[in-house]
Amino acid sequence: MTTDAADQGSAELAPDATAPSLAALVETANAWLAQDPDPVTRAELGALVTDAAAGSTTARADLTDRFTARLEFGTAGLRGEIGAGPNRMNRVLVSQAAAGLAAYLLTKSETPSVVIGYDGRTNSDVFATDTAEIMAGAGVRAILLPRLLPTPVLAFAVRHLDVSAGVMVTASHNPPRDNGYKVYLGGDDQGSQIVPPADAEIAEFIHGVAAGSVLDLPRSPEYETADESVLDAYVSATAALVETAPAPLRVVYTAMHGVGWETARRVFAASGFPEPIVVSEQIAPDSAFPTVAFPNPEEPGALDLALELAARERADLIIANDPDADRLAVAVPDAAGTWRRLSGNEVGLLLGWRAAERLARAGQHGTFAASIVSSPGLAAVANAYDLEYADTLTGFKWISRAAGLAYGFEEALGYLVNPATVRDKDGISAALDFLALASELKAAGRSLAEHQAAFDERFGAFASSQISLRMSDLSEIPRIMARLRAAPPHTVGGIPVRVIEDFREGFGDFPPSDILRIWLDGGARIVVRPSGTEPKLKVYIDASSTSGTASERRADAEATVAALDAGMRTLVA
């Protein structure tokens, strides 16, 4: 039986007058139990109901959290902790989402179709199969990918198979107990993730389904399973990014307990690269993610095993994918032999320069795009090559929709180097492109540090930092945002604030968003926003310099960022 402090004789918690009664909670939970096809979540919920009825305040609070809110379907689809109830990820919620999406697709086409992918997280295969059966039962042609595969392969398949929509069951780099449900649209949307108003329209259909029981939804085993040709086509299209035979590199690779290795291995081999040295403890899919606290290459400690292996093997480079392989992390040795992980902005700018050179060689034009929290250095690259540039809201659902897109990136380790093939961030194609860059530099006898200095000399030095505050109390995030709006700073880190742009009611061409953008004297910029996928408040700081030598520019930009970082930490504490 579940116990808590009150059960053990301490003072009872005062009941929340706005919370539902215990009887109402139990009735709602029992109705959920009656339609839940999963014995694991049924047993979990049954134990909670029993404990709550026996007087456990912890169990009652847990029931209240699960049944007085719902994981809302939005532009990130669904994402949350696995468990019973509408405020968790489970087979009931996924079945409702699948049926709602099917109903939406049937309003758009007489013969809609969907391709479904899944990663190695807990229940990903189950959720994908439920989706395929419900889609087929609703009259939607459903195609299930042959096995667990990376998110970029699913995003590729939406366009390659010319289907109406795609579903990827993944929680990407979220904590181990989470799972999620991402939706892509074909046709005019070109395989991009959903954006308004499609998300709200789908959500309305889902709410209609949720009024009944998922046991009443028609299901059919008459869905298709894709053959290997889908993966073969993705490998072939991605490998084509490499234009010349690569110089040998010693590369350490980690899949972060995810699904990237099989596909990345094939892509690297097809491009002529030798097989990387793998972090064996992290190379196979494992939903428990046993070697990391959070399966996110950005998190402290996540790359420790890769760094230890690279040092032993005297590697040239570390390449890391997140669990669904849509993100890329890179680490490199410095002159002293120590290792440094490059930031998403550093990788994004170097790949952007590379993309601009590729376009110039081909005599082509296009648009570069980055989210408003990513380095403004990409705009400088675009301007130098006479390319269009677009600022977008955060998320590749926006970046991928830039007209004439030729390259896009987001500072959170997301890069789109092949938009003609995939309309989402792709950690495998980005890894290949970075490997090609490192190979070319090695063949020319140049270091990555020298290449970065050449970037600073040509475009200016761009420095950045990020403050990421993980909150156990989610109400603290809106409180901090409200405080900044009520008492906006006049200086940050000793630098005067020039203007503050509030996106709450919409700003320029951007829709309403909970974002503050602070511009400072000298052109530095700070963006503050809640994370869209995790319980975090994020602060993004950028500064640049075009005065002096490359090293002087770098020092100047980094000094400004350091001052602003210290100032913002005081403001959001």
| Catalytic residue annotation | 172
SS (H, E, C) 297-335: CCCCCCCHHHHHHHHHHCCCEEEEECCCCCCEEEEEECC
Are 193 and 186 contacting, i.e. CB atoms less than 8 angstroms apart?
no
Are 222 and 141 contacting, i.e. CB atoms less than 8 angstroms apart?
no
Read off the DSSP letter of residue 55.
T
The Cα–Cα gap between 30 and 462 comes to 56
DSSP string, 187-249: GGGTTEEP-TTHHHHHHHHHHHHHTS-GGGS---S--EE--THHHHHHHHHHHTT--SPPPP-
The Cα–Cα gap between 455 and 353 comes to 8
Give me 101's structure tokens. Answer: 């999406």
Map tokens 């100047």 to a residue: 556
Q: What are the CA-CA distances from residue 191 to residues 241, 359, 397 (Å)?
A: 20, 23, 10
Give the largest CA-CA distance in the chain.
76
Map tokens 């491009």 to a residue: 271
**Long-range contacts of 507-515, Cβ-Cβ distance < 8 Å, separation of 24 or more:** 510/372, 510/393, 511/196, 511/393, 513/393, 514/478, 514/481, 515/372, 515/393
Q: If DSSP codes are grouped into helix, strand and coil, which group holds residue 25?
A: helix
The dihedrals phi and psi of 320, each to the nearest 5 degrees, come to -130, 130
What residues contact 450, with CB distance under 8 A and at least 6 apart?
Answer: 441
Residue closest to 192 by CA, chosen among 77, 353, 321, 356? 77
Cα 561 to chain centroid distance, Å, stands at 25
Using CB atoms within 10 Å of the CB of residue 482, give its burial: 0 to 12 exposed, 13 to 18 middle, 19+ buried. Answer: exposed
E strands present in 386-515: 388-392, 405-410, 414-416, 461-470, 491-492, 495-502
Q: Which amino acid is at 339?
A: W
